[in-house]
Amino acid sequence: MLLLRDETIESWGRFNEKISGDKAVDSSVDNTERQNEEEDTAAAFVLARFCKGFSLQLPTWLFRNAGRRKRVSKKGNLGHGISHLSIKRKNDKVEISVKVDDVEQHVDSDNDTMVPRIYQISQKRRRVAFSSNTRADWVKLQPLADILVDNGYDVDIFVTGMHMIKEYGSTFKDIAKNRKFGVFTKNTWTPGDTEIQNATATMEATFQLLQESDYDLLIVHGDRLEAKAAADAAHLFRCRLGHVEGGDLTGGDDNKNRYAITAIADYHFPSSQDAADRLISCGQKIETIFPIGSPDLDVFLRPSTVSIEHVLRKYSIPFKDFGIAPFHPNSAESETSGEQAMNFYSTLLASGRNFIVPRPNNDKGTERVQEVLDALPKNRVCVVPNFEFNDYVILLKQAGCVAGNSSVVVTSAPAIGKPCLNIGTRQQGRTPPTDGLFNFSPNDRQGILGCLRENWGRTYPRNTHYGDGCAAERFLEALSSRSFWEVSQQKLLFNQKAL
């Protein structure tokens, strides 16, 4: 993939650029093939500049054809309202023909008059970046990114944090598979790094990317320190900032990160009406709050795209009757995370049931939890570093119960009617009132065992507290409004009643 740095288009037929930061093109070389390549490539970069959306894809495609033909064309849904593109050399001129919103435009190297018109059209197509740092936030952000791309937005993904760690499945590769997005990766965390080092590296990487591209909006999710660092970078760069799932309550120290992001965010996309009311009571402007629901439910509430048999084989899961049991360290109780995990998992083993366990997040205390997991019998407990999200969804749908302290226990699993055991305080304040959701201390051995016996395999009414599977549509509707982009970035606090 070729990336353009420090664009300086000298003319439509010439350019003097650095490509991928290290390959300089000398436009003075008297070589017909080089000239042809320069002309084609310069034309592509000009088009990328004025019809946003091709800056990551078109140069690579064009280079495969440069110097071989006098005409390069592409038809079909090219995104951003563009249905046809043709770049043609005619004598010593370069001519671009592009159909935008069914209106054909022509530009050649002797006529710059069409540039403002193409630029004006492209300006309607907003550039939105998403900052993703963990498996958990990407399952929330992907439905939102997908619907924007499908509706003509230019979308890039900043991938950092846990995504880059081999022990957690190198999940940046899963994001990069989706060629709809521009994907930028940066390793901002290595084992042994402090939280300050992690946050600093994330903030610097985000700020650098914001400097290199002209984004209309940066979207972050949740309450992790990486999200807070990315939000701070957007704030310092004066880039509009959207926050997904602000206003929630949890039992961890990361609540402070969530509240801090709320304070600097220009737009808020809470997962429930309770969270929206909480944002309003904190003084956020009503016109900046869009209760869309939890975006991952858009995937949970639609038919699965994979079979359970395929997923069991893929992850070498040796049993068909199982529960899902994610347990992460609580940042507010990191010193006792190992003890809590030991009590919880020993109780699950005593139930006689089998369990699938996703590897815990890399929060403080994760080493203690991982030591417990490493000692569990592999014929009873299958620990998986990372699941592709659609695979995880089908496993949750097939599970006899869901038990642990992940957000999936209190948001996603109740939405599909699963019996759920919320363990400990990590999700305290987040649990909706619903049948089929039970709260236990990790030390409550008898309570957990009794609940498993009585509820294994049962189906409860689906709970819609966190959404109905239409979060992405509501998100798109918000961004498609002209008034959305007219909101002032000046932050004021208002004394107003909840909706």
Q: Same domain for 235 and 283?
A: yes
Q: Which residue has the higher pLDDT, 65 or 93?
A: 93
Nearest to 400 by CA among 414, 416, 418: 418
pLDDT at 103 over 60: no
pLDDT at 68 over 90: no
The β-bridge partners of 108 are 95, 111
Of 7-16, 43-52, 133-142, 477-486, which gets the smallest average pLDDT?
A: 7-16
How many structural domains are present in the chain?
Answer: 3
Cα Rg of the chain, angstroms: 25
Q: Same domain for 448 and 475?
A: no
pLDDT at 94 over 80: no
pLDDT confidence of residue 178: 73
Q: Same domain for 141 and 267?
A: yes
Q: Same domain for 90 and 36?
A: yes
Q: How many H-runs (helices) and E-runs (strands) does the chain carry?
A: 18, 19
CA 7 to chain centre: 28
Q: What is the CATH number of the domain that holds 439?
A: 3.40.50.2000
pLDDT confidence of residue 468: 94
pLDDT at 12 over 80: no
Nearest to 222 by CA among 325, 413, 396, 361: 361
In-domain check, residue 176? yes
pLDDT in tens, 30-64: 444 444 444 444 444 444 444 433 332 333 334 33
pLDDT confidence of residue 29: 37
pLDDT at 109 over 60: no
Q: Is 244 exposed, middle or buried (0-12, 13-18, 19+ CB in 10 A)?
A: buried
pLDDT confidence of residue 15: 28
pLDDT in tens, 426-439: 998 777 768 899 99
Separation in Å, CA 290 to CA 154, 353, 471: 21, 42, 10
Which among 122, 156, 188 is the end of a domain? 122
Separation in Å, CA 341 to CA 48, 169, 232, 335, 363: 52, 22, 34, 12, 14
For 423, phi and psi rounded to 5 degrees?
-105, 125
Q: Same domain for 135 and 111?
A: no
pLDDT at 70 over 70: no
Q: Same domain for 39 and 131?
A: no
- Give the whole-angstrom CA distance, residue 56 versus residue 44: 11
18-22, 30-34, 189-193, 456-460, range with greatest mean pLDDT: 456-460
pLDDT confidence of residue 350: 98
Query: pLDDT-derived band of residue 117, with 50, 70 and 90 as boundaries?
Result: very low
CB-CB neighbours of 68 under 10 Å? 11
Nearest to 221 by CA among 298, 145, 130, 282: 130
pLDDT in tens, 364-378: 888 999 999 999 999
What is the share, in percent, of the chain residues with pLDDT greater than 90? 52
In-domain check, residue 354? yes
Which among 76, 96, 122 is the end of a domain? 122
pLDDT at 77 over 70: no
Which single residue is written with the structure tokens 């904190």?
A: 282
- Give the whole-angstrom CA distance, residue 106 versus residue 187: 43
Q: Same domain for 228 and 324?
A: no
pLDDT at 6 over 60: no
Q: Same domain for 285 and 223?
A: yes
pLDDT confidence of residue 497: 57
In-domain check, residue 19? yes
Q: Same domain for 283 and 229?
A: yes
In-domain check, residue 71? yes
Q: Which residue has the higher pLDDT, 40 or 310?
A: 310
Q: What is the mean pLDDT of residues 245-269?
A: 91
In-domain check, residue 478? yes
pLDDT confidence of residue 123: 40
Q: Same domain for 430 and 312?
A: yes
Q: Which residue has the higher pLDDT, 484 or 491?
A: 484
In-domain check, residue 462? no
In-domain check, residue 498? no
Q: Same domain for 177 and 324?
A: no
For residue 93, the enclosing domain spans 4-122
Q: Which residue has the higher pLDDT, 406 or 168?
A: 406
* pLDDT, mean over the chain: 79
In-domain check, residue 491? no
Q: Same domain for 140 and 229?
A: yes
Instruction: Enumerate the H helices of 69-169 as residue ranges.
Output: 114-122, 135-150
Which among 122, 153, 169 is the end of a domain? 122
